[in-house]
Amino acid sequence: MTTTDPCRHRQCMAPTLSGLLVLVLAGASAALAHAADDLFDLPLEDLLQVEIRSAGKRDEEIRDIPASVTILTREEIQRYGWVTFEELLSNVPGFFLLDTIDERLIGSRGTVGGGVQLLVNGVPQHQTRQKALTIPEIAQMNIPVESIDRIEVIRGPMSVIYGNNAFLGVINVVTNEIGRNGPRFSASYGSRDSGRLFGRLGTETDQGFIVLNAGGYRTDGLDADYADMMGPDQLAALVPGMHTSLDGDVPQRDLSLDLSAGWGEWTADLRYTQKDYGVYLFTPSFQDGNQAHLTTWHAALGWEHVITENLGVRASAVVSEERVELSDFDFISPVIDGDQTMHYRRWDLELDFVWDPRPNLNLLAGYRFRQVEDITNMAAVPPLVDQINRVGNFATNDLFTELAWTPIDRLRLVGGVRLSRLPSSYSYTSDNFLTGIRTAEDIAVDDRNLLTGRVAALWSLDSHQVVKLIWGTAAQDNDQIQFPEPERIATTELIYVQTRPTWTLSASLFRNQTSNIVRTIQRVNPSTGDYQAVDDNSGEWTTNGLELIGELRPLPALNLSASATWQHTEDRETGIDPGYSPALLVKLKADYTHGPLSYAAYAHFVSGMDTDWNFVDGPTPGVTERIGERVDPYWNLGANLRYRRPGSGFYADLNASNLLDSEIRYPARELADFERGLIGPGRVVTVTLGWAF
């Protein structure tokens, strides 16, 4: 029973006229020019000199990166006590999450779902877009917060560096800095029978390092009553015997294992995640609910060698596999039973050269080969579906380069281009066992040469101020086999950053022009029980936005930060306003440390959202209506109290998310099509005890 997001690109832009401003920069870097043990101790004006590699596959200071950058450190994560990776991302400037029970979709700068490339220790994770599959983005959320040493968020198109699917930016999660953050163990217990266990072992020597992170998380999930989420017609259509609430139907159990090692010029990373969770499919359940089992593993090997003082080479190989299994379907009727399995594997081989022929001239050049194979989508839910869809193995070849030139001390120019050679066609087969019909076709790719690029000019007004003017393009695969051409985006952005010893400010104006947008809706017709679908890839949107970010440290022990993002999108093709597009996002944080105690409060605001349009089976023939009501804006306020006595390894946290127990509603989606909106989690209180070595 394959389903896809009603609109995989939701323009959710939103500029704001309020807030303090810039990078929540408290990041760490082993190559930091300042020999400080903790970026939390650095004057804020020094943070522009922090070096990271994820933005351009070479060590660069933040002031030289042609993008808007946010860094979160281990120290900041500890102070705020976030329990899950989803909660952490919800408090990153410009981001919001959309919960559909079976999915957690990341929204940023005009798009919800798909557009951000996730890296773990620089290794690209399994992509969330694949032909003929609807791989859940929730797989990327399975990262224990306790394992995170640093997060680097680079906003803006990054296809030149990382290829397709780095549409709106990159998130690099660093989990292997054992030299900065040593072994530790912790246990948590909270509301809704939630809890987590985490352990970290590792060591660092002059020759290398090894780190093992292992974590588990569980929760009973949501518990809202259907009567509070469904419209009158939906409630009237329910069958006797169906559950009256979500309570007990959508539990979640996570497991994550992450091994990273380095020795001399070699690095190796192994990562395995498993997530078992309940999903909602069209109607309430009769018995135990619908269960999903999601497993992902990655194996990566890297080699880096200095050929000469000015020339270096890096080689890497990555193989990953993802499998989604939905079993014991329990919806529409108590006699329905079945399952669905989706699976695919990907191989990456990449070779990069970094050449600095002159102090003011830097060149990156590389080649990547990617093979995607064993793409299978099998659904057997008699009498509705009994079908296997397959896509033949295919490969892409990428050549890319980026040149950075500093003609004068204060001016840096950056230009890059990537040529992706797509397959000539996609081989697709479908076996429908209910009808006995087999479909086999080759879907031709009209334009096999996919070109993306970016150019930027960065002007240092002085040691405290930088202005960045950036233009870039990116592409993103879609999951519909009949639309072989990727979706595209072109972004223009103007960034101003100012840093001082006790404060930083940043302002960003951006404009996104998105095309080839795919909309696909599949629903069950309640009168016939048949599936209906509409597919289209002619969507074109223009998004304009303003982002303001700031941080203030009035006292050494007091940190204040705020961000606001205003965003607005117009649908140039249809004139219909896109759904899932909050106009305003606001993030606030404050923390104070006194002796062994630290006090932290944080909040994020998401303005109201409309749903997508029902293009398939609206209640009035010929009339297009939205699939649900507009949901109200909400504030989510959290707080954390942390105890850690200097010199002692023991620490304790008391964390409360949604402290005010505000009602949070997520707009109706394709499967969780609650007309009034899905009610999210209420107040969750969590106690954590741990020991750091």
Q: In the chain, how many H helices and how many E strands?
A: 4, 39
Q: What is the pLDDT of residue 36?
A: 35
Q: What is the pLDDT of residue 183?
A: 96
Q: What is the pLDDT of residue 623?
A: 61
Q: What is the pLDDT of residue 604?
A: 97
Q: What is the pLDDT of residue 21?
A: 27
Q: What is the pLDDT of residue 347?
A: 96
Residues of the chain with pLDDT under 50: 1-40
Q: Is residue 9 part of a domain?
A: no
Quote the tokens at residue 218.
């569980």
Q: Is residue 361 part of a domain?
A: yes
Closest CA to 684 of 218, 338, 347: 218
Cα separation, 431 vs 298, whole angstroms:
30
Q: Is residue 521 part of a domain?
A: yes
Q: What is the pLDDT of residue 287?
A: 86
Q: Is residue 189 part of a domain?
A: yes
Q: Is residue 401 part of a domain?
A: yes
Q: What is the pLDDT of residue 612?
A: 83
Quote the tokens at residue 97.
């999450």
Residue type, 366: G
Q: What is the CATH number of the domain that holds 567?
A: 2.40.170.20
Q: What is the pLDDT of residue 62?
A: 81
**Domain around 157:** 39-692
Q: What are phi and psi of 569, to 5 degrees?
A: -130, 140
Closest CA to 617 of 690, 682, 693, 673: 673
Q: What is the pLDDT of residue 322?
A: 95
pTM for this one? 0.89
Q: What is the pLDDT of residue 13?
A: 31
Cα separation, 603 vs 454, whole angstroms:
34
Quote the tokens at residue 297.
């593993």
Q: Is residue 10 part of a domain?
A: no
Q: Is residue 20 part of a domain?
A: no
Q: Is residue 470 part of a domain?
A: yes
Which residue, chain included where needed, has tokens 């597009």? 581
Total of domains in the chain: 1
Q: What is the pLDDT of residue 643?
A: 97
